[in-house]
Structure 1
């Protein structure tokens, strides 16, 4: 509680008593002490054991003095201690899931929390009462889910399938019968917070509860971006107090633990320390886990870890001198580029053959437009480009054919009728699988999208991977996809939260006609995965992904980064955070849900 201190001084929420702690908030945010002030507070502090005893008034709550303050430069550091975003995110997700699902031992909405509301005389409609049978009851809050709402929420988490290597299988942690979720790892909470939970929340509770939670998910997604800009951090610094204040009037005071409160300081630390990827605990935890596995003598774990660390350093040093031997530094990536798997020889039918030929020749000819205009090219490609192009090449003399190029002359004959079909293909470190293979897997690698220049984005599902061969033995791999109709509200739409919804019941370029073009090159597509929309049947939510170890380094020709769209490169939703919500119009209690029996 108390996050109104970070709002602008003239913000109307500062004077709102009814929906906050019952008092006006006229003070400003606390000032961060400088190094000299901290050294003065630490002067004379001796390390003492943790205690819950209250300190005398005026005494600073320092339980120990870190050895880092013995360094002569430590007091001059602007960021002396880093808030770990990994554990912060994990604790926030635990609080949200435990409270929404009313999980025993994890919920922050219990009898003690309701008694606190009565003690501070806040939200009288949520105060506990005694029934005629002597049992203590308390009304259902606005964030309390019914059994059906819990099932719908968990069903999304249970049915979600992400690309291979994207995250662990979250569905194994979901228990639909008990309406609980447990056993999540830190990275599972990371994926749920930033990707899955915003989708699952839609359609479960009222918009007054769902919108602030989705805004919080978007905030974590923003600060975890690989590229952080000062103007975007300023925007986030203005938004997070509004988001926290929205959560204050929804959840009880016990929800706002110290780990939830530190969210307000994350933007400041990003300004001082840079992107969170260089400061969070994922690589440290992974390294410690590797060293813990080296323990063989449980009676002396420190010695075993030291011995394992020494052996690891020694092997690393020796591996630098091994040229052709496989080591941890030169091992092959998880997905090798152009990896195809098993092959199957097929014979192209007439329509498919003409479609392949039309698509490939139009791409080849687009780089040699000196012999035809763009308007003529579109007409020929749409009507009878293949036959026109072949007759055009046949009429050329020897000198013109040399000028045109051997490849284009050979490609005029078209591809061979025999082709190779694959079930998987790797390009730019991304694994793609056909839809029929994906249905048998726990992961999803058949979702693709193509973004056009100054045009719409096409979403599809990969159905076939075919490698065609021309008479000069040049090979091309093409993806045949089922493309959703991009017409508004027919096969594509955006909801009120900015999610991209796709309906594959309405398709375009199905391949039934020769003029259809269901094929794309592998380097033209980006991978997406689809999550079933709990609000709209037959619709799925498209979530874009970015492959590992692939970075957009730019062309290096311009120093202006204004045109580099790397901040929202994988943003699935985009909500405008506003602070003009009328609190008096929000019901804190749900009258359509029976009261809860206190346990």
Structure 2
């Protein structure tokens, strides 16, 4: 956005706010008894709106390990939030403000949303210098919009600090390497080691020395001895690669199931068998040369094929073509190759689980997570669009096979 467009947008926001204040009748009112009543500010929520926000936060589910259970921080009796940790406030400010305060009038809701997006962009993993320079220009305007809404007592040195954050990020780097969460957790851990409150510093030093001695002593133990050094992660996926019996790359991925040892056994229908076979062939590195050969043959035959047409042709005909090619060209396929077994397709008998660990994350199906306080059934898959650009497709896990 250039300077002219930004100026027009700011002027429009000012006019909208002035018109809103003119129509909202923000002045003292006199009732029938002759008493003067001070109306509530327009940025406050009534009891029904507060109740809706509290119920929404109480039923809100976050991914496992992303935030605390917000349902425990809701007081439905007094219609307020309490006991939120600093990280929970951070998540609420970045992601939940635009939804929680959507009942407010647009001239008030819009600056709050811009402030929420400002912090969300500031805490991103990838930052660009030109984007940070634009944020330096936008944050004073956002604060000016907020000063037109909220009382002057709200704005102190902490609110003014936001003006300097983009410049600090541009000079020092991403915020993830400089914020205080690791140190706050470390201080909380240290406070728990205090046994003698009259000698606080002595208790902390003795506990810290004992931990350091134990940490270095564990280096002399055997690898099978469990300690803080080789502790298994909470979402460990048990990466085991069998070097004596190599398999195809698509079957050598890390991951482990949870629950029943053998899972729920069921039979796949014809549509599911075709989908499973196509998924394995497309995602197997050993099959990629044959997939490229099939795609090249179609492009040589038809020059004006689009990505969408090629993808549909691969879904419809590639498994059959791959089977015929492997059977008719045995000289290109070694006798002990797993490709000869791969063309036979999957078994119809399959096992399904409700919980699965993969890539350091915990996934469960939507039905399994109905009674849980976390939501781990959402998945995101990267794919290539018709114009060759990479897009992200979102979905919900119904079953893990």
Where on the TM-score scale, by shorter chain, does this alignment land: which range?
0.7 to 0.9
Instruction: Report what 1:399 is aligned to.
Output: 331
Instruction: Report what 2:258 is aligned to.
Output: 341
> In 2 relative to 1, CA 190–317 (structure 1 residues): closer, same or farther, beyond 3 Å?
same
Count of aligned positions? 350
Deviations 1:266-299 (A, max 9, x none): 2233344433333322112111111111111223
TM score, norm. by length of structure 2: 0.77
Instruction: Report what 1:238 is aligned to.
Output: 137
Q: How does 1:221-232 map to 2 (within 5 A)?
A: 221-232=120-131
Instruction: Report what 1:360 is aligned to.
Output: 280
For residues 246 and 370 of structure 1, the distance between their equivalents in structure 2, rounded to whole angstroms, comes to 56
Instruction: Report what 1:478 is aligned to.
Output: none
Instruction: Report what 1:487 is aligned to.
Output: none
SS, match of residue 372 in structure 1: helix
Instruction: Report what 1:182 is aligned to.
Output: 82
SS, match of residue 194 in structure 1: helix
Give the counterpart of 1:448 among 358, 379, 385: 379
> In 2 relative to 1, CA 281–151 (structure 1 residues): closer, same or farther, beyond 3 Å?
same
Give the counterpart of 1:285 among 151, 169, 184: 184
For residues 249 and 375 of structure 1, the distance between their equivalents in structure 2, rounded to whole angstroms, comes to 65
> In 2 relative to 1, CA 192–244 (structure 1 residues): closer, same or farther, beyond 3 Å?
same
Instruction: Report what 1:372 is aligned to.
Output: 294
SS, match of residue 257 in structure 2: coil
Contact (CA 8 Å) 2:294, 2:318: kept in 1 or not? no
For residues 49 and 297 of structure 2, the distance between their equivalents in structure 1, rounded to whole angstroms, comes to 55
Contact (CA 8 Å) 2:290, 2:322: kept in 1 or not? no
For residues 393 and 172 of structure 2, the distance between their equivalents in structure 1, rounded to whole angstroms, comes to 38
Cα shift at 1:446: 0.5
Q: Which has the higher contact order (CA 8 A, sep 6+)?
A: 1
Higher helix share: 2
> In 2 relative to 1, CA 162–388 (structure 1 residues): closer, same or farther, beyond 3 Å?
same
Cα shift at 1:160: 1.4
Instruction: Report what 2:341 is aligned to.
Output: 410
Cα shift at 1:197: 2.0
Give the counterpart of 1:142 among 29, 34, 42: 42
5+ unaligned residues in a row in structure 1: which ranges? Answer: 1-7, 21-122, 467-599
Deviations 1:102-159 (A, max 9, x none): xxxxxxxxxxxxxxxxxxxxx9954445645465521232212222322233333222
SS, match of residue 465 in structure 1: coil
Deviations 1:563-585 (A, max 9, x none): xxxxxxxxxxxxxxxxxxxxxxx
Cα shift at 1:196: 1.8
Q: How does 1:114-263 map to 2 (within 5 A)?
A: 126-128=26-28, 131-133=31-33, 136-202=36-102, 204-263=103-162
> In 2 relative to 1, CA 227–312 (structure 1 residues): closer, same or farther, beyond 3 Å?
farther
SS, match of residue 340 in structure 1: strand
For residues 376 and 270 of structure 2, the distance between their equivalents in structure 1, rounded to whole angstroms, comes to 29
SS, match of residue 57 in structure 2: helix
> In 2 relative to 1, CA 136–412 (structure 1 residues): closer, same or farther, beyond 3 Å?
same
For residues 225 and 133 of structure 1, the distance between their equivalents in structure 2, rounded to whole angstroms, comes to 56
SS, match of residue 448 in structure 1: strand
For residues 281 and 179 of structure 1, the distance between their equivalents in structure 2, rounded to whole angstroms, comes to 30
> In 2 relative to 1, CA 391–223 (structure 1 residues): closer, same or farther, beyond 3 Å?
closer
SS, match of residue 399 in structure 2: strand
For residues 12 and 408 of structure 1, the distance between their equivalents in structure 2, rounded to whole angstroms, comes to 63
For residues 295 and 184 of structure 2, the distance between their equivalents in structure 1, rounded to whole angstroms, comes to 60
Deviations 1:476-531 (A, max 9, x none): xxxxxxxxxxxxxxxxxxxxxxxxxxxxxxxxxxxxxxxxxxxxxxxxxxxxxxxx
Cα shift at 1:167: 1.0
5+ unaligned residues in a row in structure 2: which ranges? Answer: 1-5, 238-254, 299-309
Contact (CA 8 Å) 1:362, 1:381: kept in 2 or not? no
Cα shift at 1:209: 0.8
Instruction: Report what 2:301 is aligned to.
Output: none
> In 2 relative to 1, CA 302–132 (structure 1 residues): closer, same or farther, beyond 3 Å?
farther
Instruction: Report what 2:227 is aligned to.
Output: 327
TM score, norm. by length of structure 1: 0.53
Bigger shift: residues 266-275 or 246-255: 266-275
For residues 172 and 271 of structure 2, the distance between their equivalents in structure 1, rounded to whole angstroms, comes to 58
